[in-house]
Amino acid sequence: MHQFLPYAWFQGKCVPFEEARVSVATHALHYGTGAFGGMRAIPDPKDSNSILLFRAERHAKRLSQSARLLLTELSEETILNSLNLFIKANKPTRPIYLRPFVYTSDLGIAPRLHNIETDFLIYGLELGDYLSPDGVKCRFSSWTRQEDRSLPLRGKISGAYITSSLAKTEAVLSGFDEALLLNSRGKISEASGMNLFIVRDGSLITPSVDQDILEGITRASVIEIAKNSGINVIERPVDKTELLIADEVFLTGTAAKITPIRQIESTVLSNTRPIMENLRVKLTRITEGVDQEFRHWITRITF
């Protein structure tokens, strides 16, 4: 049972969550013509009247770019100002997940993006670990990740997540926790809603942006942290068999944070993950606002 925050940002103001309602005829509901973001925020360990948002500016930039893919304008400033008012209205006291969403709010029936009304909303819920921090079991999905030539994969377009939904359910109903999707060229793309990393011979390897991945913000953060720590980072195509012989395999995402993969299909992977563990400790320190080197990634909102 989700514990939603008491207020939502809806039609330009904060309203009680129960009053944030859209029509059954809403265009985005029928055609997937929306784009969303996902953000993590935690109470400041040193100040109970403050919330720490992780990489708020980067999230706002990606959502603004996603909106442009839907032929609508949503400025980064509008997103950040709305988030600020939303947080101050809710005054959360536990770790939360935020879902900003830009969507076609028109009630028309034509599948289009021109001459159509759009709107922007935010809601949030309390969220701890999305996946087990001890590790997950994965299978290769029978579903293929979409191509950028058929969907604008540089944005988090809501309609694109039908493939993620099919893959996730297929994995869970067959006894696994998560799905790994290949792209149309047979290379590893990503999980149902997470990016993937492997470690081989001391190098951190992840599918490159030309492999039909979402350009994840946690992914980009892990890459920067690793490089800053002196770890060799390689972005390139990854074959499925590489996962089975890798020294470490893990997932990254806003909800998942850094989650190890302990088994793929019938192959049990090593539970010794020194590089991943170091990155996870570093990322946790950053999100808690105690790492001075990356303090510019944290936005503090006081209420």
In the structure, what pLDDT confidence band is assigned to residue 116 with cuts at 50, 70 and 90?
very high
Q: Using the predicted structure, report yes or no on whether residue 46 has a pLDDT greater than 90.
A: no
Q: Using the predicted structure, report yes or no on whether residue 1 has a pLDDT greater than 80.
A: no
- Look up the pTM and report it: 0.96
Distance separating alpha carbons of residues 220 and 217, to the nearest angstrom: 5
Helix, strand, coil percent values for the chain (each to nearest 5):
30, 30, 35
> How far from the centroid of its chain's Cα atoms is residue 49's Cα?
26
DSSP 266: T
User: CB–CB of 192/171 below 8 Å?
Assistant: yes
Going from N- to C-terminal start, the domains of the chain cover: 7-126, 136-287
In the structure, what pLDDT confidence band is assigned to residue 48 with cuts at 50, 70 and 90?
confident
Q: Using the predicted structure, report yes or no on whether residue 143 has a pLDDT greater than 80.
A: yes
Q: Using the predicted structure, report yes or no on whether residue 84 has a pLDDT greater than 80.
A: yes
Question: pLDDT above 70 covers what percent of the chain?
Answer: 100
Token output for 254: 């806003």
Domain with residues 136-287, CATH architecture: Alpha-Beta Barrel (3.20)
For residue 257, the model assigns a pLDDT of 95
CATH number 3.30.56.10 is the correct assignment for the domain at 7-126: no
3-state secondary structure 78-100: HHHHHHHHHHHHHCCCCCEEEEE
